Structure 1
Amino acid sequence: MITRSGDSDLRSAAEQWFLRRGLPAVLRPGTLVRGVWSRSAPALAAFAVSMAFSIVIVAVTGKHTIDIDGTPTRTEWFVLVIVVLVAPAAVTVGRVVSRIAHRRRREAVSAASVAVAGLAAVFGGPSARILVDVVVEGAVIVGILLATATGLGSVLGWAASVTLRNLASVGSLLLRALPVMLLTVLVFFNGPVWTMASTISRGRLWLGMLFLFAIAASFLVSSTLGLARPILTPEAKRPEHAQMLVGSPFESMPDRPRRVPLSRPERSNVVVVLALSQIIQVLTVAVVTGGLFVVLGLILISPELLAALTRGSRGDGELLGMTLPIPDALIQLAMFLTALTFMYLAARAVTDKEYRRQFVDPSLEDLLLTLVARDRYRTATVTATTAQGESR
């Protein structure tokens, strides 16, 4: 039973175990709102890193926006390097902070991160008006705290962790994407496609991509749920599953012979995590493929060839509110090819048995482990609550 002080630490470790797997709905009511300040430290630290880079950009350029066209100067090359490094740096700092176990240290990191954001509002915010920067950055900080308190931050943190793990397996998945890459090379050097990319608006392109993503994601979700549905039933539990928890915080917790059916929030949480794991896997490869086409275009596409392919378009590209010395048509074409690659890999994932064995089966095994751990956590917390009631 979880009644002794030592077992309180075990319960806390079990709760962190679920949060790291993006399953906040499993936790008992009230658990998520405890320690919000310290649990928000990784996200706040990542936000502080991005704000620190913003301060550096404003200090170097004297401008609150990034507008680089034509041939970059030495200062503009420095800004481009910062733009490339800001996301990896933020993710790295967030991961380092997430490994801090001491609560007081995490609270100190949260406080320091908010202080850095405050400095950025004065010296390097996204706007030249301090009041606007204070409102925007304050809204971001409040959003981070609310995401942590509602469990959304746990799901997003898990998604970021899965994305980083997927980068290690990008090579094998790129081999599976090779046929579509060879096919899209023909599209890449097709004049009418470049004309479309140079004339279509960014909003209309996003709508088209979302349409393609929605179709492909529906393939993945329906296929994955079909495989996972038998695991979610109470009858799926077996005595031998207890061996999966050896060495985990749940090893010594009491168990029950039959699984209590998942509540609607729990089922929704499990379905979202399982579906996202497959979508992120495929999307990571699609984005890497799109990046490779951008690099290929920068190497091969000269101004004269670009003018011939796009019938005279030479506009610099805009991405995330930044003007970059990359042809806008190249950016838009790479976005379109990313969507096509995502659709191809999604369809391949549904029918490819080797893909299922390598990527889907481990996700189902992890789901089974999570459900066995959930049963013990539920049993232990109910037992502890009952014991506390009797002691009163």
Structure 2
Amino acid sequence: MTSPDRYAEERWFLVRGLPAVVRRSTLVRHVWSRSAPALAGLAVIAANSILVVKLTGKHTIDIDGRPDLSEGVVLASIVVVLPSAMLVGWLVARITTPFRRAIAGYGALGIIVLAAIFGGPSYRIWVNFVMAASSVGIILTLTATGLGSIAGWAARDTMSNLALASGMFVRALPVVLLTFLVFFNTYVWLMAAIVSRGRLWLAIGFLFAIAAAFLVSSTLERVRPILGETAAGPEDADRLAGTPFEDIADEPGVDPLSRFERANVVFVVAASQVGQVLTVALATGSIFFVLGLIVLSPPLLASWTRDSGRTDGQILGMTLPVPDPLIQTTMMLTAITFMYLAAKAVTDKEYRAQFLDPLLAELRLTLVARDRYRSTRRGH
């Protein structure tokens, strides 16, 4: 088998979030070109830091009170920077040849270096270089270990199932309406104004762990049948047409799934469900955040928080003209919504039929391709 065929096969598995299937040397080979989408996204964020420094003259975002024109542009850039980074990363990921993706990666690295000089979070250039080098190193490490391919697959899967997420949001309307009562509760706002951000993150992490346990336990029950034995069916040949495995015959006696491959399969399914539920929960939290921006006024904030709430808030180290109790209340409601939806996803038959069953069918087909891939490796 030629090298391009082997590369196409292994890239096919990496795109589907199963790095445990391919050879260990494959994860290290072409690591720069495979990291190019993430590097491109990081370059967009780095370029945004240059814009912030040029507009405000500061390396930190500190906006309180009514923003002026330049600060308004900075706020707008904060809103669009993550979607822009995802779009640029997606466009780079569509580049098929390793050489061109490597060129895109080097171009992104150049922008990151320029941002360390003319932008960045610190006035000290060497600090910016250390942080940039650390970020690039983390991206390369995630790619070399295969975790980057799983993260990329989860992001693509979440984006491709936005229609299902909207349907899940409609079915979650009862809890959304109930959460409205929580949102307009004085004691919730008082707690949000008093509790520290660190304690709030601990509480959110606790709720997230419980919800994730629901999803992982149900995932194990649903995935266990396909982990035992992946027998190829007559329809698999048609479904594998157009893939690098269409001309490979199914052979019995292929090596069973290793422990790492089993863990990879379970993690992929669980990550896909978490991505779906988290998308709906974040959409719900965004609705409440915008609602708070509309209805909240200084007198109402003082009344709900008993004069304990700050009129500016901290998000990722940035000071923004958004009341901190609104940020904390939105975080709590998002976590509660996530926990409810995770429990509902375990018992919702319609959700399983529309999302989980097709996902498991696609995963079973991927494991059939894995058996064909392993049979060719054994032959050589």
**TM-score normalised according to structure 2 size:** 0.96
Match of 1:96 among 81, 91, 111: 91
Q: Following TM superposition, by how much is the alpha carbon of 1:237 offset from its aligned partner in structure 2, in angstroms?
A: 4.7
Match of 2:266 among 250, 265, 271: 271
Q: Following TM superposition, by how much is the alpha carbon of 1:40 offset from its aligned partner in structure 2, in angstroms?
A: 1.3
Q: Residue by residue, what CA displacement relative to the aligned partner does 1:67-119 show, whole Å, maximum 9, x if unpaired?
A: 11111111111000110111011111111111112222212111111111111
Q: Residue by residue, what CA displacement relative to the aligned partner does 1:16-72 show, whole Å, maximum 9, x if unpaired?
A: 111111111100231111111211111111111111111111011110000111111
- Inter-partner Cα distance in structure 2 for 1:236 and 1:329: 55
- For the 8 Å contact 1:23–1:269, the answer to whether it is kept is yes
Residue 186 of structure 2 corresponds to which residue in structure 1? Answer: 191
Q: Following TM superposition, by how much is the alpha carbon of 1:189 offset from its aligned partner in structure 2, in angstroms?
A: 0.5
Residue 27 of structure 1 corresponds to which residue in structure 2? Answer: 22
Matched, 1:132 2:127: yes
Match of 2:38 among 12, 34, 43: 43
Q: Following TM superposition, by how much is the alpha carbon of 1:196 offset from its aligned partner in structure 2, in angstroms?
A: 0.5
Match of 2:347 among 346, 351, 370: 351
- Inter-partner Cα distance in structure 2 for 1:379 and 1:235: 14
Residue 225 of structure 2 corresponds to which residue in structure 1? Answer: 230
Matches within 5 A, 1:116-155: 116-155=111-150
Q: Following TM superposition, by how much is the alpha carbon of 1:186 offset from its aligned partner in structure 2, in angstroms?
A: 0.5
After superposition, the CA RMSD in angstroms is: 1.4
Provide the secondary structure at the position in 1 that maps to 2:313: strand
* Unpaired stretches in structure 1, ≥5 consecutive residues: 386-392
* Unpaired stretches in structure 2, ≥5 consecutive residues: none
Residue 208 of structure 1 corresponds to which residue in structure 2? Answer: 203
Amino acid at match of 1:382: R
Greater shift in the superposed pair: 145-154 or 191-200: 145-154
Residue 156 of structure 1 corresponds to which residue in structure 2? Answer: 151
Matched, 1:64 2:59: yes
- Inter-partner Cα distance in structure 1 for 2:200 and 2:325: 12
Greater shift in the superposed pair: 169-178 or 124-133: 169-178
- For the 8 Å contact 1:216–1:342, the answer to whether it is kept is yes
Q: Residue by residue, what CA displacement relative to the aligned partner does 1:152-198 show, whole Å, maximum 9, x if unpaired?
A: 11111112212322334332111011011100111111101110111
Amino acid at match of 2:328: Q
Provide the secondary structure at the position in 2 that maps to 1:318: strand
Matched, 1:376 2:372: yes
Residues 278 and 116 of structure 1: is their aligned pair in 2 closer, same or farther, counting only changes over 3 Å? same
Greater shift in the superposed pair: 242-251 or 309-318: 242-251
Amino acid at match of 1:31: T
Amino acid at match of 2:184: F
- Inter-partner Cα distance in structure 2 for 1:137 and 1:363: 37
Residue 315 of structure 1 corresponds to which residue in structure 2? Answer: 311
Q: Following TM superposition, by how much is the alpha carbon of 1:247 offset from its aligned partner in structure 2, in angstroms?
A: 2.2
Amino acid at match of 2:347: T
- For the 8 Å contact 1:39–1:106, the answer to whether it is kept is yes
Provide the secondary structure at the position in 2 that maps to 1:273: helix
Amino acid at match of 2:221: G
Provide the secondary structure at the position in 1 that maps to 2:321: strand
**TM-score normalised according to structure 1 size:** 0.93
- Inter-partner Cα distance in structure 1 for 2:325 and 2:89: 34
- For the 8 Å contact 1:242–1:372, the answer to whether it is kept is no
- For the 8 Å contact 1:55–1:123, the answer to whether it is kept is yes
- For the 8 Å contact 1:230–1:236, the answer to whether it is kept is no
- For the 8 Å contact 2:231–2:368, the answer to whether it is kept is no
- For the 8 Å contact 1:49–1:89, the answer to whether it is kept is yes
- For the 8 Å contact 1:51–1:124, the answer to whether it is kept is yes
Residue 389 of structure 1 corresponds to which residue in structure 2? Answer: none
- Inter-partner Cα distance in structure 1 for 2:235 and 2:157: 28
- For the 8 Å contact 1:25–1:265, the answer to whether it is kept is yes
- Inter-partner Cα distance in structure 1 for 2:205 and 2:42: 27
Counting matched residue pairs gives: 379
Residue 334 of structure 1 corresponds to which residue in structure 2? Answer: 330
Provide the secondary structure at the position in 1 that maps to 2:322: strand
Q: Following TM superposition, by how much is the alpha carbon of 1:295 offset from its aligned partner in structure 2, in angstroms?
A: 0.4
Amino acid at match of 2:267: V
Greater shift in the superposed pair: 167-176 or 34-43: 167-176
Q: Residue by residue, what CA displacement relative to the aligned partner does 1:212-261 show, whole Å, maximum 9, x if unpaired?
A: 11111111111121011011112655454333312222111232135531
Residue 280 of structure 2 corresponds to which residue in structure 1? Answer: 285
Residues 235 and 169 of structure 1: is their aligned pair in 2 closer, same or farther, counting only changes over 3 Å? closer
Match of 1:84 among 62, 79, 82: 79
Greater shift in the superposed pair: 323-332 or 241-250: 241-250
Matched, 1:253 2:248: yes
Matched, 1:221 2:216: yes
